[in-house]
Amino acid sequence: MKRSEIKALLAAGKVGETVLVKAWVRTKRGSKNVNFIALNDGSCLQNLQVVADLKSISEEILQRIHTGACIAVEGKLAESQGSGQSVELLANKIDVLGEAHPDEYPLQPKKHSMEFLREIAHLRFRTNTFSAVNRIRHHLIFAVHDYFNSRGFLNIHTPIITGSDAEGAGETFKVTNFDLKNVPVKDGEVDFSEDFFGKETNLTVSGQLEGELAAMAMGKIYTFGPTFRAENSNTSRHLAEFWMIEPEVAFADLDENMDLSEDLLRTLLKSVLENCADDLEFLSKRREDEEKNKKQEDRSPMSLLEQLKFVAENEFKRVSYTEAIDILRNSKPNKKKKFNYLIEGWGADLQSEHERFLVEKHFKQPVILYDYPKDIKAFYMRLNEDGKTVRAMDVLFPGIGEIVGGSQREERLEELKGRMAEMNIPEEELWWYLDLRKFGTAPHAGFGLGFERLVQFATGMGNIRDVIPFPRTPKNAEF
Ligand code: 4AD
Ligand code: MG
């Protein structure tokens, strides 16, 4: 008999039909003679209720079934007696494919903390929360490709191993096959000419520089790949391994770049609202419960659905960095408190609390800040006429702060060389990037959208470690 998925059965299963279902047991309850088994196969949030009567299923089999076991059930669909379900399955035959001993299985049907679930990340897909998050993550992956594909952007694969640090922040993971106990040394320095690639290499922090090469021949491209940063930030918004979406558009300026980021984000979140209703409703209730346990001042300003609509339905406010600093200098986040990090003044980088203040309290709109001081941004951003600011932009969201970072690129060879010299970036390392300015240069712009920050926002999860299956963070690379 052909196996059916629970999602399909609950949507269109016909009473009287005989079906085979293979899935994992969420709970088993009942009396001596009848057992009710809630089954879930990950295809949807809902469980399928199996009714196992001692008349058809032996006691020996029923005794082997516990939370976490995997079973194959053959049976007839019947109209559900319980509420909220269309059909249930009256079992004729059950095979136990894999047992889960109740004294050992860590995922018992009760409330577990997110911290505990991270320790059993190999099993947490089996919870409602993580299966819902991963279904939305999947939906967003396809929505991203669909967005760009349908607008004529080409998807480009950029290298994971590179010899450059695109952001120039020195937060790279080294790639080597040296025996670290016996590294070749020449003139007192590590001799990388002996290394696998014959040079120093690292995991990429961004596909942008290579993406620019493609855009300057093919017009509109995007990358969607893993990126790696060895920044020692133990926050709820940082991962050491995360996925980034980076469109790059030839002939675009910063305004067009802002337009693209706003349209992309609004389209993606609308798509989640329209297509992921069940999972959203579940995650929304879950978040409400979580919020109740928080102190008033730590609570999120909006419910999950409100925050999705906040982006889908509001235009993004565009403000220059300089205007934002003026606003922040004259504001207090609330009556009692000052900002934890005082605004140091023009030139300082904004902290997440400042970004969130601008979005949540001041403008009550998603915000795009642009024209940042050159000293706090990467070398490749286009210098403005004032000589002090660059054509950078950050998109700021409630609860998250920065979700997108981008810029119009410096397309003028001499200006780019000047910025690299100021920032001590050797020209030899990026000769190919400079070549792009020598041969057929043109204005172009792009940005990076942190995929996990997007999933975090779309699911309302408090910690970014809970929106990627196996998070990599300082002191943690289990699984
Ligand atoms: O602002 P960032 O560093 O920009 C770049 O990497 C550019 N090369 C992008 C471009 O112009 N093509 O990173 C872009 C986004 C951030 O806005 C944030 O959403 C996310 O990547 N991000 C992180 N997400 C999770 N963990 C981290 N450690 C992150 N660092 C950045
Ligand atoms: Mg940034």
Report the half-sphere exposure of 63 (CA within 13 A, side-chain side): 3
Q: Which ligand is nearest to the CA of 249?
A: 1
3-state SS string for 88-109: EEEEEEEEEEECCCCCCCCCCC
450 lines ligand 1 (CB under 6 A): yes
CB within 8 Å of 473: residues ≥ 6 apart:
234, 238, 239, 240, 465
What are the two backbone dihedrals, phi and then psi, of residue 190, each rounded to the nearest 5 degrees?
-60, 135
CA–centroid distance, 312 to ligand 1, in Å, is: 22
The closest ligand to the CA of 265 turns out to be 1
- Give the span between the Cα atoms of 324 and 326, in whole angstroms: 5
* Pairing mode of beta strands 317-320, 367-373: parallel
pTM here is 0.96
d(CA 301, CA 290): 13
Mutation choice for ligand 1 from 212, 241, 453, CB with most ligand atoms inside 8 A = 453
Q: How many CB atoms lie within 10 A of CB 473?
A: 17
247 CB within 6 A, ligand 1? no
**Which residue shows structure tokens 């088993």?**
28
* Ligand 2 mean position, distance from CA 237 (Å): 12
The torsion angles phi and psi of 261, rounded to 5 degrees, stand at: -65, -40
For residues 267 and 262, give the distance between their C-alpha atoms in angstroms, rounded to a whole number. Answer: 8
What's at 159, amino acid-wise? Answer: P
**What residue has token string 């990090």?**
341
| Cα 138 to averaged position of ligand 2 atoms, centre (Å) | 24
Tell me the β-bridge partners of 79. Answer: 87
Phi, psi (rounded to 5 degrees) for 310: -55, -40
Ligand 1 within 6 A of CB of 371: no
> Is the Cβ atom of 225 under 6 angstroms away from ligand 1?
no
Q: Tell me, rounded to whole angstroms, the distance of Cα 477 from its chain centroid.
A: 17
The ligand whose atoms approach the alpha carbon of 207 most closely is 1
Token digits for 214?
A: 């493609």
List the chain pLDDT tens, one digit each, 479 residues.
899 999 999 999 999 999 999 999 999 999 889 999 999 999 999 999 999 999 999 999 999 999 999 999 999 999 987 766 789 999 999 999 999 999 999 999 999 999 999 999 999 999 999 999 999 999 999 999 999 999 999 999 999 999 988 888 889 999 999 999 999 999 999 999 999 999 999 999 999 999 999 999 999 999 999 999 999 889 999 999 999 999 999 999 999 999 999 999 999 999 999 999 999 999 999 999 989 988 887 788 899 999 999 999 999 999 999 999 999 988 877 766 777 666 778 999 999 889 999 999 999 999 999 999 999 999 999 999 999 999 999 999 999 999 999 999 999 999 999 999 999 999 999 999 999 999 999 999 999 999 999 999 999 999 999 999 999 999 999 99
